[in-house]
Amino acid sequence: MAVLTITQDSFESVTALPGIVFIDCWATWCPPCRGFKPVFEKASNTYPDITFGSVNTEEEQVLAAQLGITSIPTIMAFREGVLVYARPGAMGAQDFDRLIDAVRALDMDQVRAELAKDETPAAA
């Protein structure tokens, strides 16, 4: 499956897609980004049930700022529209496969319960 090009206009609609969505935030001048790109592209072909997208932080500076991207590459994972992973740093194919497995294994009811608990205002 092709890696989608994510823009500020398409980010919300792509991350809200059903299932799992991985986003690679990168730039052309970044050597680790160039090293991770083939790993990300191979995974997009290996896992056709997952959506893969990329944000070129040079072209999408406003989106990168909104996402709080301070180091690249930054890999983000969404599941059922919920951000479940966001960390900078390239990784090898085995580590990325393990991350994919970990995102698949998440108990989303538990994730949503934790998020709801975090959003509950503290008692006054």
**Domain extent listing, the chain:** 4-119
38-47 per-position pLDDT tens digit: 999 999 999 9
Catalytic amino acids? 30, 33
Q: What fold does the segment set 4-119 form as a domain?
A: Glutaredoxin (3.40.30)
23-77 per-position pLDDT tens digit: 999 999 999 999 999 999 999 999 999 999 999 999 999 999 999 999 999 999 9
Residue 17 to residue 50: CA distance in whole angstroms = 10
List Cβ neighbours of 71 (8 Å cut-off, separation of 6 or more).
Answer: 88, 89
Residue 86 to residue 45: CA distance in whole angstroms = 22
**Mean pLDDT, residues 95-103 taken together:** 97
Q: How many CB atoms lie within 10 A of CB 49?
A: 8
